[in-house]
Amino acid sequence: MKKISCFLLGLICFPLAAQSLQEEVQHPDIATKLFKNPKYVKDKSQGSPYKQIMFAQASVEKLNIKAFMRYNAYKDEFEFITPKSDTLVLDKIEDFDRIVFTGLRKQYELIPYTEDKKLVYGYLVNVHQKDGWTLYRKERVSFVEAKPAKTSLEVSMPAKFSPMRDIFFLRNKEGMTTDFPESKKALVKLFPAHKDKIDVFVKQAQTNFDNESDLIQLVNFLATL
């Protein structure tokens, strides 16, 4: 993929004011960062790789940079658009590890985490934090390849993106992020010493392990153990 110097970021992003633009271009840390042009090999597909198609104002917290951005859930990467309608992609590096959409009240964090026993380095939405515990949500979109008809009696199926159910992750006080337990049994397996307390809480709260609000309350409970 074609890469360009991050020194140009202040010229291609959407600053809130001319003064902001000048400050960003002169920032000593920005000149070494890289961006790349995305490759769209599935432009003719149905559906969308984005949960939110429109670009929205966001900030790269560590560098204090503002731009209009969107998250590609299929590729797990952030795009931003230039005044000339060019779309660029942020590299997955530490300087871009926190993207905040203020208007949407949504914060993405680039972190290592374990999914199905596999180590992943990608973006998760920070849903809730409590005393060292964090609930994350992963936005997902799948892609189904086109299926051409093999006979005149069959119908060709176009390639398409399909939104998937969001899944959740839990970061503990030690900073380890893993799949959020999907049942009381799985939760007890993680915290066997607190089985009785977990049994009581889940029963009284009638916890639904697929419900984000219930998981927030569960994180608050874990913070008390």
Task: Evaluate whether residue 212 is within a structural domain.
Answer: no
Tell me, yes or no, if the pTM score tops 0.85.
no
Task: Evaluate whether residue 219 is within a structural domain.
Answer: no
Contact 212, 137 (CB under 8 A): yes
Residue 174 main-chain phi, psi, to 5 deg: -85, 0
Contact 82, 13 (CB under 8 A): yes
Cα(201)–Cα(116) distance, integer angstroms: 26
Task: Evaluate whether residue 120 is within a structural domain.
Answer: yes
Task: Evaluate whether residue 204 is within a structural domain.
Answer: no
Closest by Cα among 178, 180, 177 to 168: 180
Task: Evaluate whether residue 224 is within a structural domain.
Answer: no
Task: Evaluate whether residue 225 is within a structural domain.
Answer: no
The domain total for the chain is 1
Domain that holds residue 65: 3-180
Cα end-to-end distance, the chain, whole Å: 48
Q: What tokens does 197 get?
A: 């307390």
Q: What tokens does 198 get?
A: 């977990």
The pLDDT tens digits of the residues spanning 8-20 come to 444 444 443 333 3
The pLDDT tens digits of the residues spanning 71-128 come to 999 999 999 877 777 888 988 999 899 999 988 899 999 999 999 999 999 999 999 9
Task: Evaluate whether residue 209 is within a structural domain.
Answer: no
Torsion of CA 8, 10, 14, 19, to 10 degrees: -160
Task: Evaluate whether residue 210 is within a structural domain.
Answer: no
The pLDDT tens digits of the residues spanning 163-205 come to 999 999 999 999 999 999 999 999 999 999 999 999 999 999 9
Cα(80)–Cα(43) distance, integer angstroms: 17
Contact 209, 145 (CB under 8 A): no
